[in-house]
């Protein structure tokens, strides 16, 4: 196995003498050429992590390794790590050219070399005709291009992007998203995105690391993370709408294993099929809204009422209330029942996920092949 480009080892950042723990012992290995997204709501520690990688903040304990070497204590600017800020932080008093040249000028690079590097990056970003414009005259996506270009000129081995798309309008976001993917392919950079926007993470990253309260809860291939969340927070965070989560207990009734919540009882499988009886602990039952099927009253597993129907293009998001518990169900818009309709729900056993009530981690209760 090749050496990871960037490694975070038991990284901890505390503030105010340990009263506030922003990052609580995270471990992450990022491969060279990979694009990874740190996804989490604000205050989860993702920006602090970013600041530590780039060198603006020092970790309380733990290690940051780039190409196998620890960079803790190496000043920002000497780590060969680039950071593009959410607000771009372009130097508005300078022209685009001076912005792009800044990183090389402060290193006292020869003028000819700076000019060549600036032209190269300007071409890569399609900004040749804007080089002499003042940065003050630029619009959102142009500012972002300058911010990215300014960093690329210094040839960073790792590029960090803080919420790269959140300040852009929808049209510009799409264009920029494509452009970032193209850049990533052309230059083969290792990119780390920090974002609270799962659409952004899902569309840009090879892998996603979901963070909450200073922990990385799950690191997974983008294509798989929605399908198989390993933590109850990830389950409730990813997807639109996210996975339905109902807490309850497992119980044996006659010869069947039943999930009992305050709202409904759901028979799961025959006890005989189980290798071991999981006991009476609390579990969260998770099921994706797309996997729940509607049927006529009396024909499904649990009964409820459609309390809200939100059409969303070709599909419709229903809120089905089952004795006080609300479940989201996604159905094709043409088969959308009216609000107030009584419906039955079918929850296919292979679509169910269980999360331990204590550890919040996914546990497999049902036997394979169900």
Partner 1 sequence: MNHSPSSDISAATSPQAQAATGRRPGTGIGKAMTIPGQVVSVLVLVLPLLVALYMSFTDWSPTRGSLFDASFVGFENYSELLVYDTRFLYAVLRTALISIICLSLEFAFGLGLAVLFMREFRGKSLLFSAFLTPMMILPVVVGYIFWMLFQSNGPINQILEFLFGAQACVEWFRSAPFAVTAVIITEVWHWTPLFFLILLSGLNSVPENPVRAAVILGASPRQVFWRVVLPMLKPVIIVAFVIRSMEIIKLFDEVFMLTRGGPGSSTETISLYIYKLAFNDFQLAYGAAAAFIVLIGSLVLVHMLLAPVRDQLLDGGR
Contacts with partner 1 by CB under 8 A lie at 54-56, 76-78, 81-83, 85, 87-94, 102-103, 106-107, 136, 139-140, 143, 147, 150-151, 154, 167, 169
Residue 88 or 233: the one with the smaller Cβ distance to partner 1 is 88
Which residue has 């546990």 as its token pair?
Answer: 363
We find the least distance from the C-beta atom of residue 77 to partner 1, in angstroms, to be: 4
315-322 and 302-312 beta bridge pairing: antiparallel
Q: Which is nearer to partner 1, 151 or 198 (CB)?
A: 151
Burial of 232 (0-12, 13-18, 19+ CB in 10 A): buried
Cα–Cα distance for residue pair 343/300, rounded to 1 Å: 8
**At closest approach, how far in Å is the CB of 144 from partner 1?**
11
Q: 65 by DSSP, 3-state: which?
A: strand
d(CA 149, CA 96): 10
**Cα-trace Rg, the chain:** 25
For residue 75, the minimal CB distance to partner 1 (Å) is: 8
Least distance from partner 1 to the Cβ atom of residue 132, Å: 17
Closer of 3 and 166 to partner 1 (Cβ) = 166
CB-CB neighbours of 43 under 10 Å: 13
Q: Which is nearer to partner 1, 145 or 207 (CB)?
A: 145
Preceding omega of 221 cis (within 30 degrees of 0): no
At its nearest, how many Å lie between partner 1 and the CB of residue 356? 41
Could you count the other beta carbons within 10 Å of the beta carbon of residue 319?
18
User: Widest CA span of the chain, in angstroms?
Assistant: 83
**Strand, coil or helix: what is 285?**
strand
Residue 35: what are its φ and ψ, rounded to 5°? -115, 120
Which token pair is 287? 């099921």
Rank residues 47 and 336 by Cβ distance to partner 1 and give the closer one.
Answer: 47
* CB closer to partner 1, 29 vs 94: 94
- At its nearest, how many Å lie between partner 1 and the CB of residue 145? 15
> How many angstroms separate the CA atoms of 154 and 68, rounded?
21
**Minimal distance in Å, beta carbon 98 to partner 1?**
9
Compare residues 106 and 252 and give the one whose CB is closer to partner 1: 106
């Amino acid at each position: 196995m090749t050496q990871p480009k960037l490694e975070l080892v038991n990284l901890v950042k505390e503030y105010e003498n340990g009263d506030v723990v922003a990052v609580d012992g995270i471990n992450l290995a990022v491969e060279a050429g990979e694009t990874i997204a740190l996804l989490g709501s604000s205050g989860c520690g993702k920006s602090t992590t970013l600041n530590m990688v780039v060198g603006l903040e020092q970790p309380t304990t733990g290690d940051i390794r780039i190409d196998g070497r620890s960079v803790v204590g190496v000043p920002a600017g000497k780590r060969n790590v680039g950071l593009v800020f959410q607000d771009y932080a372009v130097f508005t008093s300078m022209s685009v050219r001076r912005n792009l040249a800044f990183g090389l000028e402060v290193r006292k690079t020869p003028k000819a070399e700076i000019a060549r590097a600036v032209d190269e990056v300007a071409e890569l970003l399609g900004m040749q005709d804007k080089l002499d414009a003042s940065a003050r005259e630029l619009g959102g996506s142009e500012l972002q291009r300058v911010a990215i270009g300014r960093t690329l000129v210094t040839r960073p081995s790792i590029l960090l992007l803080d919420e790269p798309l959140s300040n852009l309008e929808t049209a510009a976001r799409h264009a920029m998203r494509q452009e970032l993917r193209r850049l990533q392919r052309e230059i083969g950079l290792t990119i780390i995105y920090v974002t609270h926007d799962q659409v952004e993470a899902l569309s840009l990253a090879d892998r996603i690391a979901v963070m909450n309260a200073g922990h990385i809860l799950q690191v997974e291939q983008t294509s798989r993370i929605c399908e198989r969340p390993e933590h109850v927070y990830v389950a409730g965070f990813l997807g639109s709408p996210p996975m339905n989560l109902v807490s309850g207990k497992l119980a044996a009734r006659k010869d069947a294993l039943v999930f009992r919540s305050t709202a409904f009882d759901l028979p799961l499988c025959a006890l005989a099929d189980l290798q071991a009886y999981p006991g009476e602990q609390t579990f969260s039952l998770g099921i994706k809204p797309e996997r729940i099927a509607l049927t006529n009253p009396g024909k499904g597993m649990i009964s409820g009422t459609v309390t809200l129907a939100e059409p969303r293009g070709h599909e419709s998001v229903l809120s089905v209330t089952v004795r006080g518990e609300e479940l989201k169900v996604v159905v094709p818009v043409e088969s959308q029942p009216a609000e107030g309709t009584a419906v039955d729900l079918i929850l296919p056993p292979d679509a169910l996920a269980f999360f331990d009530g204590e550890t919040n981690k996914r546990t497999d209760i049902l036997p394979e092949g169900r």
